[in-house]
Amino acid sequence: MAGIVHLINGPNLNLLGQRQPEIYGRETLEDVVRLCQSVAGELGLTLAAFQSNHEGALVDAIQAARGVAGGIVINPAAYTHTSVAILDALNAFGGRVIEVHLSNIHQREAFRHHSFVSARADAVIAGCGVQGYELALRRMARLLTG
Ligand code: DQA
């Protein structure tokens, strides 16, 4: 369980590479997952990746990590700013949580400045683009190995 990390991506991140590339870059979600699998392998972690556009499906995925994964790396996308349900699900997860945003949400519209998830996250990475996922996994490996 300690070496298992679930990577969870929220709504519209399936369109990475096509969606507002000036903000989110040209790499696709497939590229992100490939990078994360490679970094996880290097770190001795086992990674399972999931993406959904649906809030309830994301809650289900977080619940499914209970007792299975040592940590969750999550980009809740727009639900970051709205979802008490995702926060509650993360609060019911006993492992480590790292929140990732491709863009620097604090530099953008005021409604993106607040994250419900940050209250639960062990770390928050924003504004590093796709590299943020790699940084999150490296930090996660450190957290999981004490
Ligand atoms: C995002 C930032 C959110 O505000 C936005 O709704 C997203 C992506 C990011 O990765 O920068 O969909 O989480």
Out of 54, 79, 81, 101, pick the active-site residue. Answer: 101
Q: Ligand 1 centroid to 33 CA: how many Å?
A: 17
CA-nearest of 43, 48, 44 to 69 is 48
| pLDDT tens, position by position, 56-103 | 999 999 999 999 999 999 999 999 999 999 999 999 999 999 999 999
Tell if the pTM clears 0.95, that is, is over it. yes
Please give the DSSP secondary-structure letter assigned to residue 3. Answer: T
How confident is the model at residue 144, as a pLDDT?
A: 97
Question: What is the chain's percent helix, strand, coil content, to nearest 5?
Answer: 45, 20, 35
| pLDDT tens, position by position, 9-27 | 999 999 999 999 999 999 9
| pLDDT tens, position by position, 41-60 | 999 999 999 999 999 999 99
Out of 6, 24, 79, 133, pick the active-site residue. Answer: 24
Residue 2 scores a pLDDT above 90: no
Residue to probe by mutation, ligand 1, list 53, 105, 116, most atoms within 8 Å of CB? 105
Dihedrals φ, ψ of 124, to 5°? Answer: -130, 130
15 vs 9: CA distance, rounded Å: 11
Please give the DSSP secondary-structure letter assigned to residue 103. Answer: S
Give the residues surrounding ligand 1 with Cβ less than 6 Å away: 12, 75, 77-78, 80, 101-103, 105, 112
Q: Is 79 assigned a catalytic role?
A: no
How confident is the model at residue 74, as a pLDDT?
A: 99
How many CA atoms lie less than 13 Å away from 106 in the CB half-sphere?
7
The domains of the chain, with CATH numbers, are 4-145 (3.40.50.9100)
First CA to last CA distance, the chain:
14
